[in-house]
C-alpha cells in the first residue's frame, strides 16, 4: 500500500479507471500537476491496451489489480454504475480517490462511500470543477464580505445540446449504466454545488418536474459523447433529457434551475444569477473571464485579473488577464488542490466525497419530487468526522 509523504507531491503515482472523454481530461490535469501515470483501465481489455499505448502507460487488468499496483491516487472516471465497485477497490488498495460525479447512483450508496473514505486516512474528492474558476471565487469572496446583503432570489440554468438528436446516445442514457437520473445527476449536480458553494446557502426542499423529449434512442454505446448514425436497434429511454426545479434554501431563499441536454446551440452553458438586496451577480461558465455585478443605480462587468480581487481569484489565475482561462485550468486547479491535500496541504474549497454524497441526496429528492409531484425535503445527513483531516 502507498505511504505518501509531504515531499511526494510532484511525483504521485496515479491510476485512471476510464479512458473516455473525462478520463482524458483527468490524465492531462494529472500530468500537468507532475503526477506519474502508472496505469489505465478502460471498458474492455482491448480498449485498456489501446489507451495504455496512446497514454504511454500500463493497461490495468481489472480493479482488483490496483492492490498490487498500489498507486497513491486513483481517478475513477468509469461509467457511473461502476463507481461504487471502483472506489471500493481503490480504497482497498490504500489509495486516495478522485471520483467523478455522481459518486453513486443512490444517496445510500454515496453515503456508504463517503463513510468508507472517512474511516481511512485517505481523502476522496469529486470534480465539481466550476468552483475553480477564479471569478467564482471572487463572487464568493464578495458574498462573504456581505456586499450583497440579504439574498432575494437565486436562479439559473445549465443547458447542453449533445443529446438533442434522436440519433445521439451514450452510456449515460441507460439507467443501468448511468443511474436513474441522467441530466440532473450529470449537470444539475454541478449547478447546485456551485450555487451552494458561492452563496453558502443549502437547498432545504424542492419541487421538480422532469421530461424525456426523445423517447427512443439507439442502444447505448460505450463512448461518452457519440452521435450514432442510425442502423442500430432503438431502445426506450428511461432517464430525463431535461428538468425544472424550484427550491427553497435553509434560510428561506427561493430559487429555480433548469437543466437540459437537448437545448439547441447550448454547449455547456452553466449560468447563475444571485440577487441580493444591495447587488446581484451573474456568472456564465462559457464566458468565465468576466462577471456581471448589478446595483440599482448601475452595473459593472469585471474581468479576471491575477493582480486584483480576492486571494483565491489571484491564486487560481494561472494566466495574465485577457489570456483566456477556462474549463481546462479549472480541472488543473482542482487536481492540483487534491494532490496538495493528499500531501497534507488542504486549501479552501476542495469538493470532497461529503459534497458528492450531498449532491446524491439532492438528485434523489429531484427524482422523488418528479415522481410524486410533491415538495421533498433534502436531508443533511450528519457525517462521522474523518479519521484523518489532511
Give the footprint of ligand SOE on this chain (CB under 6 A): 22, 160, 186-187, 190, 268
C-alpha 216/C-alpha 222 separation (Å) is 17
Helix (H, G, I), strand (E, B) or coil at 122: coil
| CB distance 211 to 367 below 8 Å | no
User: Could you identify the residue written with the cell 449537470?
Assistant: 187
Smallest distance, Å, CB 130 to ligand SOE? 7
Pairing of strands 254-260, 151-159: parallel
Smallest distance, Å, CB 355 to ligand SOE? 14
Smallest distance, Å, CB 260 to ligand SOE? 11
User: Could you identify the residue written with the cell 436531508?
Assistant: 379
Smallest distance, Å, CB 268 to ligand SOE? 5
C-alpha count within 13 angstroms, C-beta hemisphere, residue 60: 30
Give the residue with the Cβ less far from ligand SOE, 178 or 276: 178
Smallest distance, Å, CB 297 to ligand SOE? 36
Q: Which three cell numbers stand for residue 332?
A: 488543473
C-alpha 80/C-alpha 177 separation (Å) is 6
Give the residue with the Cβ less far from ligand SOE, 4 or 169: 169
Give the residue with the Cβ less far from ligand SOE, 21 or 301: 21
* Spatial CB neighbours of 297, under 8 Å, sequence gap ≥ 6: none
Q: Is the dihedral of CA 67, 124, 54, 82 positive or negative?
A: positive
CB atoms within 10 A of CB 157: 21
Write the burial class of residue 371 (CB in 10 Å: 0-12 exposed, 13-18 middle, 19+ buried). exposed
Give the residue with the Cβ less far from ligand SOE, 261 or 280: 261
Instruction: Reduce the secondary structure of 271-285 to three states and give it as a string.
Output: EEEEEECCCEEEEEC
The H-assigned helical ranges of 145-223 are 175-178, 183, 189-199
C-alpha 97/C-alpha 178 separation (Å) is 20
Give the residue with the Cβ less far from ligand SOE, 193 or 313: 193
Smallest distance, Å, CB 164 to ligand SOE? 13
Smallest distance, Å, CB 136 to ligand SOE? 14
Smallest distance, Å, CB 100 to ligand SOE? 7
Give the residue with the Cβ less far from ligand SOE, 194 or 302: 194
Smallest distance, Å, CB 22 to ligand SOE? 6
Helix (H, G, I), strand (E, B) or coil at 22: helix
Angle at 88 between CA 86 and CA 92, to 5 degrees: 115
Give the residue with the Cβ less far from ligand SOE, 367 or 376: 367
Give the residue with the Cβ less far from ligand SOE, 72 or 186: 186
Q: Which residue is nearest to ligand SOE (CB)?
A: 186
Give the residue with the Cβ less far from ligand SOE, 12 or 22: 22
Helix (H, G, I), strand (E, B) or coil at 346: coil
Instruction: Reduce the secondary structure of 221-251 to three states and give it as a string.
Output: CCCCCEECCCCCCEEECCCCCEEEEEEEECC
Give the residue with the Cβ less far from ligand SOE, 166 or 306: 166
Smallest distance, Å, CB 308 to ligand SOE? 27
CB atoms within 10 A of CB 150: 11
Amino acid at each position: 500500500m502507498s505511504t505518501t509523504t509531504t515531499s511526494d507531491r510532484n511525483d504521485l503515482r496515479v491510476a485512471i479507471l476510464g479512458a473516455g472523454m473525462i478520463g482524458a481530461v483527468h490524465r492531462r490535469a494529472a500530468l500537468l500537476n507532475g503526477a506519474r501515470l502508472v496505469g489505465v483501465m478502460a471498458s474492455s481489455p482491448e480498449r485498456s491496451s489501446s489507451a495504455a499505448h496512446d497514454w504511454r502507460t500500463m493497461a490495468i487488468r481489472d480493479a482488483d489489480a490496483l492492490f498490487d499496483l498500489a498507486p497513491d491516487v486513483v481517478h475513477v472516471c468509469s461509467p457511473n454504475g461502476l463507481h461504487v465497485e471502483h472506489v471500493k477497490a481503490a480504497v482497498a488498495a490504500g489509495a486516495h480517490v478522485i471520483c467523478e460525479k455522481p459518486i453513486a447512483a443512490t444517496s445510500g450508496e454515496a453515503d456508504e462511500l463517503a463513510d468508507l473514505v472517512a474511516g481511512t486516512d485517505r481523502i476522496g474528492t469529486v470534480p465539481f470543477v466550476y468552483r475553480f474558476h477564479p471569478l467564482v471565487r471572487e463572487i464568493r469572496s464578495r458574498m462573504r464580505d456581505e456586499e450583497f446583503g440579504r439574498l432575494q432570489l437565486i436562479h439559473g440554468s445549465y443547458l447542453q445540446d449533445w443529446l438533442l438528436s434522436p440519433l445521439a446516445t451514450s452510456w449515460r442514457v441507460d439507467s443501468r449504466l448511468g443511474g436513474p437520473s441522467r441530466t440532473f445527476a450529470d449537470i444539475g449536480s454541478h449547478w447546485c454545488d456551485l450555487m451552494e458553494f458561492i452563496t453558502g446557502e443549502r437547498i432545504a426542499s424542492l419541487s421538480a418536474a422532469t421530461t424525456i423529449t426523445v423517447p427512443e434512442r439507439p442502444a447505448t454505446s460505450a463512448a461518452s459523447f457519440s452521435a450514432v448514425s442510425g442502423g442500430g436497434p432503438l431502445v426506450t429511454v428511461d432517464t430525463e433529457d431535461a428538468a425544472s426545479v424550484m427550491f427553497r434554501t435553509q434560510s428561506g431563499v427561493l430559487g429555480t434551475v433548469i437543466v437540459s441536454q437537448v437545448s439547441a446551440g447550448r454547449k455547456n452553458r452553466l449560468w447563475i444569477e444571485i440577487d441580493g438586496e444591495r447587488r446581484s451577480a451573474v456568472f456564465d461558465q462559457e464566458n468565465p473571464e468576466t462577471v456581471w455585478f448589478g446595483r440599482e443605480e448601475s452595473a459593472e462587468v469585471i474581468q479576471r485579473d491575477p493582480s486584483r480581487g480576492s486571494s483565491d481569484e489571484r491564486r487560481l489565475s494561472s494566466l495574465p488577464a485577457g489570456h483566456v482561462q477556462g474549463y481546462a485550468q479549472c480541472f488543473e486547479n482542482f487536481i492540483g488542490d487534491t494532490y496538495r491535500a493528499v500531501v497534507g496541504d488542504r486549501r479552501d474549497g476542495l469538493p470532497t466525497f461529503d459534497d458528492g454524497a450531498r449532491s446524491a441526496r439532492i438528485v434523489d429528492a429531484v427524482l422523488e419530487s418528479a415522481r410524486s409531484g410533491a415538495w421533498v425535503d433534502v436531508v443533511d445527513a450528519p457525517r462521522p468526522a474523518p479519521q484523518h483531516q489532511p
